[in-house]
């Protein structure tokens, strides 16, 4: 056998060894994932884990991550918008699920929790921003540009979130009572349209009035609103299935007309 042939055989064996090792790792990862999925589903069936708790955590995570991601302005084709817009519609989808299954008061409590958590996170970022850095830490400018707090933006975000989510829940719950639980798709889209419109307009006016030209602000409001609504429409079949699953799993289907005073 020539030396070159021996080299190629050795190379092939090494490649096969790496391939088999990668496959073994992949099989092990899949096995672990299956075990985790099985354990989680057992907990769900035993109701040791309630869907409301998972939705609450996901809702709060969405608010915090969206606010951090909104620092980056992205351009997709002719559209310019903050990156937080990509994830934020999930908050309204969760709001639809919680309001439809658990009722207006549960969603209202979740909104309070979300606002408080978001404010606490921003306060923590602000405190850390002004704490003196270690002598060998030279990333203050990077921190300021990503996690640095601008209270005008934070205030705009919290006020807009509160008004938008509250109205989304109010419209969803009111329409459910008036339609006797029918026309779920129409109720979801209508409530999200009202909530998203208020959220987008309130945030843009508080955050950018006097900073952006009115024409630019109008384009921004329209773009962000369309992204939110189109996302809601696109995932609505999945949302409807999730609502049906949660109702079966929890054994709950709440009909609750909101009081005249929304925040009581």
Q: For residue 8, what pLDDT band results from cuts at 50, 70 and 90?
A: very low
Residue 92: pLDDT over 50: yes
- Give the residue-averaged pLDDT of 16-21: 60
Query: Is 256's pLDDT higher than 90?
Result: no
What is the signed CA dihedral for 39, 42, 48, 54, rounded to 10 degrees? 70
- For 115-127, write each residue's pLDDT tens digit: 999 999 889 988 9
| Cα separation, 138 vs 157, whole angstroms | 30
Q: Is the pLDDT of residue 17 over 50?
A: yes
Question: Which of 263, 153, 166, 148 minimizes the C-alpha distance to 203?
Answer: 153
pLDDT (tens digit per residue) in 198-236: 999 998 888 888 877 888 888 888 888 998 899 889 999
Which range is least confidently modeled, 75-84, 186-195, 233-242? 75-84
The band of 251, judged by pLDDT with boundaries at 50, 70 and 90, is confident
**32-78 pLDDT, tens digit each:** 767 665 655 555 555 556 788 899 999 999 988 888 887 777 878 77
CA distance 51 to 109: 16
Check residue 178 and give its pLDDT. Answer: 92
Phi and psi at 81, nearest 5°, equal -160, 165
Query: How confident is the model over 170-188, as pLDDT tens digits?
Result: 999 999 999 998 999 999 9
d(CA 20, CA 26): 10
Predicted confidence at residue 117, as pLDDT, reads 92
74 has which bridge partners? 81
In this prediction, residues 21-29 reach a mean pLDDT of: 68
Strands of the chain, DSSP E: 73-76, 79-82
**Which numeric CATH code is attached to 50-250?**
1.10.1760
Whether 254 shows a pLDDT value over 70: the answer reads yes
pLDDT of 18 reads: 62
Question: pLDDT value at position 10?
Answer: 54
Which sequence spans correspond to the domains of the chain?
A: 1-49, 50-250
Question: Quick check: 3 pLDDT over 60?
Answer: no
Q: Each residue of 142-170: pLDDT tens digit?
A: 888 777 777 788 888 889 989 999 999 99
Share of the chain above pLDDT 90, in %: 34
């Amino acid at each position: 056998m020539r030396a070159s042939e021996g080299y190629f055989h050795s190379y092939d064996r090494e490649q096969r060894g790496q391939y088999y090792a990668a496959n073994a790792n992949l099989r092990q990862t899949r096995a672990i994932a299956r075990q985790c999925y099985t354990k989680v589903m057992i907990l769900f069936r035993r109701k040791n884990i309630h869907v409301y708790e998972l939705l609450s955590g996901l809702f709060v995570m969405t608010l915090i991550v969206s606010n951090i991601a909104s620092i980056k302005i992205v351009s997709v084709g002719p559209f310019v918008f903050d990156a937080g817009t990509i994830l934020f519609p999930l908050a309204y989808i969760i709001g639809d699920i919680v309001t439809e299954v658990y009722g207006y008061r549960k969603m209202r409590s979740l909104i309070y929790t979300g606002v408080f958590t978001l404010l606490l996170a921003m306060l923590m970022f602000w405190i850390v921003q002004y704490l003196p850095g270690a002598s060998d830490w030279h990333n203050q400018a990077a921190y300021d540009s990503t996690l640095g707090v601008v209270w005008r933006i934070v205030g705009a975000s919290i006020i807009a979130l509160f008004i938008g989510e509250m109205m989304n829940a109010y419209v969803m719950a009111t329409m459910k009572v008036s339609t006797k639980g029918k026309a779920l798709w129409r109720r979801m889209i209508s409530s999200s349209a009202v909530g998203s419109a208020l959220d987008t307009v309130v945030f843009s006016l508080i955050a950018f009035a006097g900073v952006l030209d009115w024409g630019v602000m109008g384009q921004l409001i329209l773009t962000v609103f369309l992204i939110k609504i189109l996302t809601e429409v696109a995932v609505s079949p999945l949302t409807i299935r999730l609502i049906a699953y949660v109702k079966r799993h929890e054994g709950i289907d709440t009909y609750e007309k909101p009081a005249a005073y929304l925040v009581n």
